[in-house]
Each structure stands twice: as structure tokens, then as C-alpha cells.
Amino acid sequence: MKYLPLVWSALWRKPAECLLTFFAITAAFTLLTVMIGVNLTVRQIVERAPMDRLWVTSRFHNLAPPFNFPLALGAQLARIDGVVAVAASHGFSGYHVDPHDTVGVEFVDDGMRTVWSEGPITPVLWNQLSAMPLGIIVSAKAAAKWHLAKDDSFTIITEPGSRLDGGNSWEFHVLGIVPEDWNRSGPEGFILGNLQYFENAAPLDVRNWGYGYEVAITDGSRAMQISSEIDQKFANSGMSTMTIPKRVNEQTYVNRGVSTAALTFAIAGAGLAMILLLIGNATARSVRERVPEFAILQTIGFHHVHLVYLVFLEAVIPCILGAAVSTAFAGALEQWSRHFLPQVLVTFLTAPMPRLLVLVWTFGLALLLAAASSVIPLLKLRHQSVPDALAAR
Amino acid sequence: MALVRQSVVLSLLSVSTLRERIATALTIVLSMAVVACVLVSTLSVTAGINREFRAGTAPDLAIVLPAQNGFEASSGILRSQIGTILDAPGIARDRKGNLLGDAELSLYVQPTKHVFSGGALHVRGMKAAGLAMRAPLRVVSGRMFESGRQELVIGTTAEHGFGLKVGDSVIMRNGTWPIVGAFEAAGVTGDELFGDADTLATLITHQSALGSVHVKLENPAKFAAFKRWLTTNPALHVSVQTQLEYNGLLAADQSQYFTAMAFFAGAIMSIGALFGSVNILYGVVSARTREMAILRGVGYEAVAVAGSIVFEALSLAGCGALLGAALAWMLFDGREVMKNDIVYRCVVSPQLVLLGFTWVLVLAILGSIFPAVRAARLQVIAAMRVA
């Protein structure tokens, strides 16, 4: 604490210079923080996607109907060696109030509780969903968008004739609100419904068809082999499958031809280099201009280690402040980016970010940068002769 | 004239004294180099994508799609309309008098082995006219596909990207189709697999329609009349684009992530570099106050003094831009990237280097304006006393 007045007077001896340095560092730190955030987010997305879960989709879905699979495929998948559980799901969409604002529900069967056991839904909620055909489980984002709370009713309107009874109104009952899960949540969260409701209410000609499958397997290391076995079993049939482990699927999603982790790492590295240049230059200049002042401090009893504290504090304060402000900017970007940035970037900026880890990295790097930028000025100071400095030679 | 001479003298003086300010000069050079390098490197992917989509096409190639559907793979032109479309004026003919135009089918098939890019095999169904339009297209191994047979030929780039080779098979909906040949072609054509259009059409339910009609025009000037004839024909409801326009749309779609990332990162870094250079140049003006005061005292104009500051900033930024572009060229030029089904090579083109250069020079001008104004407004007596 006793050094703070000295550090403050050093920093503020040229206010304009101090502010410009701070703004420059903050801009570079903003880039660094955003890139660290995106980097950690994409890594987290991939790591959290389980290798022992597989997506089974239609290999030729873009060519011709049937676009998905019959309900009976589930039993065949379950008999494949290494498969632990199979879950069927069926997409469904309509609107709630505004016909232009669509809402989707994913109807799932009871197998989903095993296949998606890592998800945010408790066993009690799963039991409730199984027991109540009208029940839906709503994620936090979806609940916020549709203003839903537990035990609310929710009506979705679909195309005429989408129900066996001739109606097009689907009533639901909200069983609970759950946190988001990146592997399932879309931009507006998710809503899960009971597949039995759909099968009981849909017209006869659409029942038993249109299902996608998720599969849990015993061992993630066999994921590629089991995927291949599933595809071979159904190859050249009317239900040709394309099976892919969830983790591989997420890897493909987060990378756009080049590894997003590598790209953001490289840009973050550039940001880091820029901060080092800026703070290094500012620290070196400050020390150079204050050599006589340091000599006086040494004359009145300050040891070199005290000068190390002073110079390091002078470098670390703008770095820490820049890191703090940039973290706030990055947070604001997460909130507002969708209004002014292209969708391709917004996807990663608005994904659930490991905030604590981003903070640790940003502030850790701020300390390291401050230390690195102090090294050369301190070495010069160490070799400076005190009498020469006092005589301004 | 005197002003110009003074400006030249002062600018040279600025540069000659850089050695005394080597640390600050290097800071400007390196920070500008970082900005240019990030911008040029990231945009080199965009440039590679654009080059790939432009290569192998020509201004005399045109594509006809259903009006409501912008992409080949998801579109459908009724077979009954194809004859009418090929009646349009301006379509070129080969030496035997055959029209250089026909309907094609475009579909995506999942590869047997998953690839990092997540891409699917792009299979194109065509007939003899389609092959003739794509000249120069050279079979490098095996043979060309034959009509009526369930077989494919593969572009050498797709061969490389998907790890397939002649003799391998592709799982199709009705069986496995062998790859009987490999061809070499420029641009995205080399990323495709070709097969017989009618045989491939048996895979899809809507066999009454094909994806698009491709034609080669007699010359690019015929395009306007060709387009007018088709789009004003009440029997048709189609859109007409040159292959260059269509490929441009596809390229923009493929490259938007890299373009957005480049300008996002470039803009933030530029703000940092801008504040940094303003700060450093203010420092330069402070350090040279005495020298500037003397120069003003012996008759040098304020504008010449200010100009020397701007010149110094431009020189340093120019060095930085060159360094950044050189780094980007060493690290990225020619580097292979596979996005979806297409393999690209990053390109650090002269235009890109020019963009990086201009970007950094604009930053240097913006960063040097305020320090230059301060230098110009120095009060000679006061400045000499301060110094």
C-alpha cells in the first residue's frame, strides 16, 4: 500500500499518455478476451458432447421421402452389439400467438432419459413426462421467450388437419423449467414433449414415421466402429442410416473448415503480442524518463527489489484495469452482438461461455504481460549507476 | 516550392533520427504488422474460396434455376420445361451442331467415412453436353462414366479431400456405385463426382424434375437476350444467372465466417493500434520539441513540421504492413483448407496485400493527425524554453 502514492503519481504524471495507453491496452485486451472466450467455448462444446452417444439420421434425407425412420427401427438398433439404450424423437412445429413466430417441440420417448442422462432433466421430471402425455419440459430460454412458468398451459397451433380429430390446436402443460444444454438447445432453447401424445393425436397416415434416433453405447472408444456397424446393417435399404458420434458432430459444427480453436488461438496470440508491445513500450518510456527519480529513491534507501515492485505495479495496473474493462465489453458483446455482428460470429459469442475460466485466463495473462513488460526496463535500471543518474549523465 | 523542399528535408531528417527512437519506432512497426497480418491471414481464406469458385467458369456460362429456388441441389426444373429452355436464343453449339446446354442434377451423398469438415460428396448428374461445357476437363485415371450405368467419376480434389480413389465405391440409395475414373478440372468442378443424369435421377422421388439447366452461350454479350427470353416467357418461371454470379453467391455464403472474423478482429486490433500510435507519436513530438522549435525558428513552415510527423508515421506503418503481409504470406499462402465438400487453398493475393497496406496507412494517418497538429502549433519561444 505504501507504494501506491508513488505508483499513482508515476502513472498520472502525463494524464493524456496514461489514458491513451489504457485505451490501447483495453482494445487489445477486448480482442484477447473475446478470442479466449470463443476458444474455451468451442472446446467446451466438443468436450461436453459425449463420444458414447450417437446420432442416427437418414443418409439420403435430401433425396426423397421417407425423410426419417419408422418407430420400429428403434428395436433393431437396440439389438446391435454395444448399444445400451435407444431414444426416438420427432420434431413438431407450429405457432403460439403470432403465425410468423414459430415454436418447436421435440417429442421424445422414455429411452431419452438414458440416452440423455447427462442433461439437465431430473429423474422426477422424466417420470412426470412419461406419466403425462400433455406434459412438456421447457428450457430457461424458451420459457423466457414464451413467458412460461411451471404448471402453465401452452397452446400450439399447427396446420389444419394435423390432428386425427380434425383440429389443429395442441394443448400442453408445463411440467418444469430446466437450464439450457448446449448440445440440445437451439437459439431459443428447447421444449421436450411426450412422444405418446403425438402418436395418439396425429392422423393415422403420419403415425409411426418420421423419427430420428439417438443411441447410447457401452464404450465411447467403440463409437466409430458401432456407427459403422449400424450404417452397414441398414445400407442399401429403404432406411439407409448415417450414424455419427455426438462429439464428432459437434466438432464438425464448431469448425468451419478450419479449426475454430486454432483460429481463435492465433488471433488471441496476435492480441497478446500487441498488448505486450504497447505496455512494454509504455513501461520502458516511463522508466527511461524517471531514471533520476529512481536514483533518488535508491539514495534514500529503496532497494532494487522495491523498484521492482514499483515498476511491476506501474505495468500491472493498466493491464488489470484493461482486462477488467475488456471483460465487461466482452460480456456486453455477448448480450448485444446479435444486433450488429453477422450470425456466423454471434453463434459462438452467445454460446454458454465458461466465464470463470475466461476470467482466470484474462487476468492471469494480464499479470504475465505486466511481468514480461517490466523485465527489460528493470534490467536497464539495475545497471544504471546511481551517481550518474543523480547527475543526469 | 519552398514548402515542398522543407517537407522533404524534414521528412528525411525524421527518418534519419529514427535510430535514436528505435524502441518506439519498432513498437509502431510491430503493432501495425500484427494488424496487417491478422487481417490479411484471415482474409486469405476468403480469397481462396473466391478464387476456387471463379476458377473453371467463364462469363459465357449460364445457369437456369426455378425462380423460387436459389440453389441447384434443392431445386427442380420440370423435364417438360427443359426443351423450352434450350430453345432460348444465344446458346452455343459444338462442331457437330449439338447444343452446348442441358439439364443437370445435383445432390449430396454422405461419404462412408466422416471427414473433419463434415462435408458430403457433391454428385452431379450430367450428359455429354455438360462434359463438353466443362472443357478443359481431363480424365487422369480410369475412364469417363457411361450413360445408363450406375457408376461415378471423381474430381482429383474430391479424391484428395475425401480420401477416395478409383476402384472405391460410394454408398447410394439403391446400392454401391463404383468410382470408375478420376478427372482433373479447375475450381470447384474438381470437388465433384459426375455420373449419368438420368441414372442418378432414379435415386430421387421427384424424377419428373432435374436440378438446373446449364448452358454455354455463343458469347457473353448474348446473356441479356437469353435471360430476357427466359424470364419473360409465361410458360416458364425461372431465374437466370451467369455461372460467375451464381458461384459468387456460393462463395459469399462459404466465406462469410472468415470475412466476418477478419474484419471483427481487424477492427478491434486497429483501435488498439490507433491509440497506441497516437500515444507514441505524441511522445515523439515531445522528445523532438527542441529540434522542432529550432527548425521553426530558422524559418521552416509549421505545415512542413506537421507533415514530417505524418510522413514518419506512414513510413513506419508501411514497414509494418509489409512485415505483416510477408508473415501472412509465409504462414498461409497455399495452405489447404477443406470447408464442407470443397478443398481450398488460401491465397495472399496482391489485392489483399494492398488492402492490408491501405488499412494500416489509414490507421497511421488517423494516428498521426493530432500529434502533427500539436507539432505545428508549437510556440517557438515557449518550446525552446521547455526543452
DSSP state of A1: -
A243 → chain B, closest CA residue? B114
C-alpha cell read off for A181: 444444454
SS3 per residue for B170-218: EEECCEEEEEEEEEECCHHHHHEEEEEHHHHHCCCCCCCEECEEEEEEC
Partners of B50 on chain A (C-beta within 8 Å) are none
Nearest to A218 by CA among A114, A123, A121, A120: A114
CA distance B30 to B326: 13
As a whole number of angstroms, the longest Cα–Cα distance in chain A is: 100
Interchain pair B24, A281: CB under 8 A: yes
3-state secondary structure of A343: helix
Q: How far is A267 from chain B (nearest CA, A)?
A: 7
**Contacts with A142 (C-beta within 8 Å, 6 or more apart), sequence order:** A103, A148, A188, A189, A190, A191
Place of cell 389444419: A160
Long-range contacts of A220-225 (CB under 8 A, 24+ apart): A220/A50, A220/A51, A220/A52, A220/A245, A220/A247, A221/A51, A222/A82, A223/A51, A223/A52, A223/A54, A223/A247, A223/A248, A225/A82
Percent of chain B with pLDDT over 90: 46
Q: Tell me what pLDDT residue B62 has.
A: 94
- Which residues share a beta bridge with B71? none
pTM, rounded to two decimals: 0.80
Three-state DSSP state, A65: coil
Closest Cα of chain B to A31: distance in Å? 6
Nearest CB to B23 within list A24, A275, A284: A284
Q: C-alpha distances in angstroms, A230 versus A55, A112, A233, A255, B203?
A: 11, 19, 5, 26, 22
Q: Judge whether B236 and B227 are in contact, CB under 8 Å.
A: no
When CB atoms are compared, the residue of B109, B114, B280 closest to A248 is: B114
Contact call for residues B197 and B103 (beta carbons, < 8 A):
yes
CA distance A363 to A324: 8
Q: Which of B157, B261, B336, B337 to mutate to test the interface with A (most CBs of A within 10 A)?
A: B261
C-alpha cell at A192: 421436450
Candidates B250, B264, B332, B360, partner chain A, best to mutate (most A CBs within 10 A): B264
Cα separations in angstroms, B353 against B37, B184, B209, B346, B358: 9, 30, 46, 13, 9
Secondary structure percentages of chain B, helix, strand, coil, to 5? 55, 20, 25
Q: Could you tell me if A87 and A114 are in contact, meaning their C-beta atoms sit under 8 angstroms apart? A: yes
| Best mutation target, B268, B316, B335, to test chain A (most A CBs within 10 A) | B268
pLDDT digits (tens, 9 = 90+) for B20-78: 888 888 989 999 999 999 999 999 999 999 999 988 788 899 999 988 777 787 667 88
Interface of B with A in 18-77 (CB under 8 A): 23-24, 27, 30-31, 34-35, 37-38, 41-42, 45, 73-74
- Whole-angstrom distance, CA of residue B263 vs CA of residue B63: 32
Q: Tell me whether residues B31 and A277 touch, CB distance under 8 A.
A: yes
Higher pLDDT, A92 or B316: B316
Q: Which among A20, A27, A345 has the least Cβ separation from residue B268?
A: A27
**What is the C-alpha to C-alpha distance for residues B123 and B157, in angstroms, rounded to an integer?**
13
Q: From CA A112, how far away is CA B59, in angstroms rounded? A: 54
pLDDT the model gives residue A151: 93
- How would you write B23-77 as a 3-class SS string? HHHHHHHHHHHHHHHHHHHHHHHHHHHHHHHHCCCCCCEEEEEECCCCCHHHCCE
Tens-place pLDDT, residues B323-332: 999 999 999 9
Are the C-beta atoms of residues B344 and B29 closer than 8 Å to each other?
A: no
Chain A residues inside the 8 Å CB shell of B118: 249, 252-253, 255
CB-based contact A277 B30, cutoff 8 Å: yes
Interchain pair B109, A59: CB under 8 A:
yes
The whole-angstrom separation of Cα B246 and Cα B214 is 11
| Whole-number Å distance between alpha carbons of B222 and A228 | 51
Q: Give A188 or B158, the one with higher predicted confidence.
A: B158
Beta bridge partners of A90: A107
Closest C-alpha to B103, from B135, B67, B64: B64
Question: Which chain B residue has the Cα nearest residue A34?
Answer: B265
Contact list, B282 vs chain A (CB under 8 Å):
16-17, 20
When CB atoms are compared, the residue of A21, A31, A345 closest to B279 is A21
**Best residue in A277, A289, A379, A380 for a mutation probing chain B (most B CBs within 10 Å):** A277
Q: Which one, of B201, B101, B113, B232, lies nearest residue B162 by Cα?
A: B113
Residue-averaged pLDDT of chain B: 88
- Our CA-based measurement puts residue A146 at a distance from the nearest CA of chain B, in whole angstroms, of 31
Total length of chain B: 387
Helices (H), chain A: 4-11, 15-48, 73-78, 112-115, 123-131, 140-146, 195-201, 223-234, 246-254, 260-289, 291-299, 304-340, 343-349, 355-382, 386-390
Q: Locate the chain A residue with the closest alpha carbon to B338.
A: A257
pLDDT of residue B9: 86
Identify all chain B residues contacting A338, using CB atoms and an 8 Å cutoff: none
Return the pLDDT at B253. 85
B344 to chain A, minimum CA–CA distance in Å? 9
Rounded Cα gap, residues A232 and A230, in angstroms: 6
The grid coordinates of residue A89 equal: 424423437
- Of residues A11 and B383, more confidently modeled: A11
Q: Which of A192, A172, A209 is nearest to A110 (CA)?
A: A192
Beta carbons within 10 angstroms of residue B380's beta carbon: 15
Distance CA B312, CA B306 (A): 10
CA distance A215 to A108: 13
**Cell 448428374 maps to which residue?**
B125
Q: Is A211 exposed, middle or buried (0-12, 13-18, 19+ CB in 10 A)?
A: buried
Question: Is residue B310 within 8 Å of B367, Cβ to Cβ?
Answer: no
What does the pLDDT read at residue A184?
Answer: 79
Instruction: From A173, A172, A180, select the one nearest A92 (Cα to Cα).
Output: A172
Q: Per DSSP, which regions of chain B are E strands?
A: 61-66, 77-78, 101-109, 121-126, 138-142, 152-155, 169-172, 175-184, 192-196, 209-210, 212-216, 238-242, 336-339, 342-345
State whether A345 and B261 contact (CB < 8 Å). Answer: yes
pLDDT of residue A390: 80
Q: Closest partner residue to A274 among B34, B206, B264, by Cβ? A: B34
In a structure prediction context, what are the per-residue pLDDT tens digits for chain A, which is 393 residues long?
677 888 888 888 888 889 999 999 999 999 999 888 888 888 888 888 889 999 888 776 555 555 678 888 889 999 999 999 999 998 888 999 888 889 999 999 999 999 998 889 999 999 999 999 999 999 999 999 999 999 999 999 998 888 888 888 999 999 999 998 877 777 788 999 999 998 899 888 878 877 889 999 999 889 988 988 898 888 777 777 888 888 888 887 777 667 888 888 899 999 999 889 989 988 988 888 888 888 888 888 888 888 888 999 999 999 999 999 998 888 887 777 766 666 667 777 766 677 788 889 999 999 999 999 999 999 888 887 888 878 777
Contact map slice: B 231-290 vs A, CB within 8 A: 256-258, 260-261, 264-265, 268-269, 271-276, 278-280, 282-283
Spatial separation of the C-alpha atoms in residues A33 and B255, rounded to whole Å: 24
Determine the pLDDT at residue B73.
72
Q: How many CB pairs under 8 A join A and B?
A: 153
Closest residue of chain A to B335, computed from CA coordinates: A258
Residue A68 pLDDT? 77
Residues of A in contact with B45 (CB under 8 A): 257-258
Which 8-state DSSP code applies to residue A353? Answer: P
SS3 B22: helix
User: Are A273 and A266 within 8 A, CB to CB?
Assistant: no
CA-based nearest residue in chain A for residue B341: A257
pLDDT exceeds cutoff 80 at B98 = yes
Q: At A192, is the secondary structure helix, strand, or coil?
A: strand
CB contact under 8 A, A24 and B279: yes
Q: Which residue of B has its CA nearest to A27?
A: B272
pLDDT score at A340: 65
Preferred mutation among A17, A18, A20 to probe B, highest tally of B CBs within 10 A? A20
C-alpha dist (Å) from residue B227 to B3, B235, B237: 59, 14, 12
C-alpha cell at A346: 454471434
